[in-house]
Amino acid sequence: MNAAIDGPRLAPASGTARKLVVLIHGYGADGNDLIELGGQWRNRLPDAAFVAPHAPGRIPGFPPGMMGGRQWFALDAYDPNLLRRDPHQTAAVYATMQRAAEQAAPALEQFIADELARNKLGPADFALVGFSQGTMMALHVGLRRDPAPAGILGYSGALLGSAGLEKQIRSRPPILLIHGDADEVVPIEAMHAALHALNAAGAPARFHVSRGLGHGIDGQGLSLGGAFLAECFARAR
């Protein structure tokens, strides 16, 4: 899982990269699934370069040659219906996923370092944006970096390893979590649990609930996310 990774890129609208946005896709997708977010945000963030790495893992049995089919880590133990029926199982399931995220993290960390160097940027001149499993990776990596990223934006995700976060956290960047209250894949309770753990660890997290939205990103979430990133980069100047 630590092999070198790559993915699609979007150059900054201004022609000069002063910031970087790393878009981390969810389970079963690849970088092409999220790079279009950069297209939506380029005018609001004219000095930002965008990149969306493909996760290094392939999902077993996924048809070869088809786009997508990538994973940051396996989800064999994940069953959202079980978590709804028995929330007490959540801690054990997330602990297993946390160990897997720890194994996937070095490849993503190296990719971020390489992209910052490619764009001649400093170690804090970037923001992380994740969707679903990508949010899990963004929170895992971003909270353990020093210096901190400019911000972390997470859609439809969860915080893994919350029990040990206060001992592992190394930075407290601004965080915005956006989640649909009809999410059938990652229950919205995951967002509320993440907020509780982040606040307990002193991380400045806020949230938005998209009413009636399932596992996805709606127009309001897209707009709020772009505004949040602009705010984070303005603060980091």
Q: Is the pLDDT of residue 86 over 70?
A: no
Q: Is 183 a catalytic residue?
A: yes
pLDDT digits (tens, 9 = 90+) for 165-202: 888 899 999 999 999 999 999 989 899 999 999 999 99
4, part of any domain: no
CB-CB contact of 59 with 71 (8 Å): yes
Q: What is the pTM of this model?
A: 0.93
85, part of any domain: yes
pLDDT digits (tens, 9 = 90+) for 116-147: 999 999 999 999 999 999 999 999 999 999 99
42, part of any domain: yes
61, part of any domain: yes
Q: Is the pLDDT of residue 228 over 50?
A: yes
Q: Report, in angstroms and rounded to the nearest whole number, the Rg of the chain calculated over CA atoms.
A: 16
Which of the residues 25, 33, 54, 132 is marked catalytic?
A: 132
How far apart CA 221 and CA 198 sit, in angstroms, is: 20
CB-CB contact of 54 with 47 (8 Å): no
Q: Is 215 a catalytic residue?
A: yes
Instruction: List the single range of 15-29, 89-103, 169-183 with lowest mean pLDDT.
Output: 89-103
Q: Which of 105, 76, 100, 79 is nearest to 90 (CA)?
A: 79
CATH code: domain of residue 125: 3.40.50.1820
Q: Which domain holds residue 34?
A: 9-235
Alpha-carbon separation of residue 62 from 4, 24, 68 (angstroms): 21, 20, 9
Mean predicted confidence (pLDDT) in 146-152? 96
CA dihedral 131, 136, 138, 142 (to 10 degrees): 160
% pLDDT > 90, the chain? 75
Q: In total, how many domains does the chain have?
A: 1
Q: Is the pLDDT of residue 1 over 60?
A: no
142, part of any domain: yes
Judge residue 41's burial from the number of C-beta atoms within 10 Å of its C-beta, 0-12 exposed, 13-18 middle, 19 or more buried. Answer: buried
Q: Is 125 a catalytic residue?
A: no
3, part of any domain: no
46, part of any domain: yes
Q: Which residue has the higher pLDDT, 187 or 91?
A: 187
1, part of any domain: no
Mean predicted confidence (pLDDT) in 147-163? 94
